[in-house]
Structure 1
Amino acid sequence: MSLQYQVVPVTAFAQNCSIVWCDETMEGIVVDPGGDAQQLATIVEQLNVKVVKIVLTHGHLDHVGGTQELVQRLGSMPIIGPHQADTFWLEGMAQQCQMFGFEPVSPFLPDQWLQDGDRVSFGQETLSVYHTPGHTPGHVVLFSESHRLLIVGDVLFNGSIGRTDFPQGDFNQLVHSIKTKLWPLGNDVTFLPGHGPKSTIGQERASNPFVGDEVPL
């Protein structure tokens, strides 16, 4: 049994959407469909994945903008996450579209909010949920213990960290989330960020200029 994934950069912002599935059952999830829903639906079909949930790491438009259209294209399924503290982002879709120059997207709320310690299951796979505020107050990350894979949204990047200059962003809180929630998962863990190339916890601890082990607290 193996967890498979394909990262698909979407829209002009090239934010990463992850299609993640169990290769025994071919059931899967789509994480952060920020746009280009037709392209995502086509790739899902080519991969022969049966998407059973859409999972959102946080409420920013560039990560959730294609959610409702993707549900329409793939058929009815639950939208899961983020944490309820990001309600104001999802309810403020119109303002976000204006701010980022996106086509209008209707406000929506998920079918289920996620809390620290929750689990997201599909096929024979289960991902653990960690609440990691800082980039947004309701940001969550998803971790596969067995496959040493972490989906981090905009918390941590290869060589950088998420922005904290948006409403209710908090730099100190973000650093705390990274050091207390992500680092303990282990240096061997590979993570898929919301933008840019993947990396490992070990690599970021060794060299990340914002949160690496050499950076003074």
Structure 2
Amino acid sequence: MSNPPLKAALIPVTPLQQNCTLLWCTATNKGAFVDPGGDLSKLKAAAAQHGVTIEKILITHGHIDHCGEAGTLAKELDVKIEGPQEADRFWISRLDEDGRKYGIDGHVFEPDRWLENGDTVTVGDLVLDVYHCPGHTPGHVVFHHAPSKLAIVGDVLFQGSIGRTDFPMGNHQDLIDAITGRLWPLGGDTAFVPGHGAMSTFAHERRSNPYVADQVTGVTA
């Protein structure tokens, strides 16, 4: 496809090297930051470099490396924040405290829109589907653009691993159920952006991921 409807750039931010995604609609050059946890000057420079006008911020979950400075950026750009699901209010309310603990700038904010499973979000002319995938955090959501076969999954799934569930309100079985029940049906040829590390595909993880490969979970469909 010479000019795909969606383009994306990964920008690692914070000392935890969290993948902030700059995604944009090629028809309008309007875009969004997904999980702008920090390093705001680097993010704004990336948007300018690609000629993208940021119209909103999307959040997968409330951990500080994913959204510590989202509220600050939203004010600077005068845009709204959508996501995560409201159960992650628990984590967002702790951002100032967690910032001091981890040495990362973190500021409590209130999203303009909490998201639920089955919702959609728009970026320019793009429409992304929202999937509630709890386990790593209770209100974690995933964004999926079906025409591009691309998912932004935060800390639900990684190349060769899965999200931690030993934090407060984590739940290992919920995480496994979300991956197998909500991500796998999106199709093996779906590429995904994880919260940390390299991209992969659902098919690759179903073959080789030691936590959620089909031979481990018993999923066959």
Q: Which aligned pairs between 1:151-162 and structure 2 lie closer than 5 A?
A: 151-162=152-163
**Structure 2, unpaired ranges of 5+:** none
Instruction: Pick from 59, 81, 91 the counterpart of residue 89 of structure 1.
Output: 91
Aligned residue type for 1:177: A
Partner of 2:104: 102
- How far, CA to CA, are the matches of 2:185 and 2:97 in structure 1? 37
Q: CA deviation at 1:108?
A: 1.1
Partner of 2:47: 44
Conservation of the 8 A alpha-carbon contact between 1:15 and 1:62: yes
**Structure 1, unpaired ranges of 5+:** none
Identity within the alignment, %: 47
Partner of 1:142: 143
- The DSSP-based 3-state class of the residue aligned with 2:147 is coil
Count of matched residue positions in the alignment of Structure 1 and Structure 2: 215
- The DSSP-based 3-state class of the residue aligned with 1:146 is helix
- The DSSP-based 3-state class of the residue aligned with 2:73 is helix
- How far, CA to CA, are the matches of 1:216 and 1:114 in structure 2? 28
Partner of 2:114: 113
After TM superposition, where is structure 1 displaced by more than 6 Å over at least 4 residues in a row? none
CA distances 1:70-115 after superposition (whole Å, capped 9, x unpaired):
2243x21110000000001111112211332223x33111010001
- How far, CA to CA, are the matches of 2:121 and 2:160 in structure 1? 28
- How far, CA to CA, are the matches of 2:72 and 2:42 in structure 1? 11
Q: Which aligned pairs between 1:51-66 and structure 2 lie closer than 5 A?
A: 51-66=54-69
Q: Which aligned pairs between 1:124-143 and structure 2 lie closer than 5 A?
A: 124-143=125-144
- The DSSP-based 3-state class of the residue aligned with 2:216 is coil
Partner of 2:173: 172
- How far, CA to CA, are the matches of 1:153 and 1:166 in structure 2? 15
TM-score, length-scaled by structure 2: 0.94
TM-score, length-scaled by structure 1: 0.96
Partner of 1:7: 10
CA distances 1:113-160 after superposition (whole Å, capped 9, x unpaired):
001011011221100000000000000000011110000000000000
Partner of 1:80: 82
- How far, CA to CA, are the matches of 1:50 and 1:106 in structure 2? 24
- How far, CA to CA, are the matches of 1:94 and 1:52 in structure 2? 25
Conservation of the 8 A alpha-carbon contact between 2:32 and 2:55: yes
- How far, CA to CA, are the matches of 2:209 and 2:78 in structure 1? 40
Deviates more, 1:118-127 or 1:199-208: 118-127
Deviates more, 1:61-70 or 1:10-19: 61-70
How large is the RMSD of aligned CA atoms in angstroms?
Answer: 1.1
- How far, CA to CA, are the matches of 1:91 and 1:109 in structure 2? 9
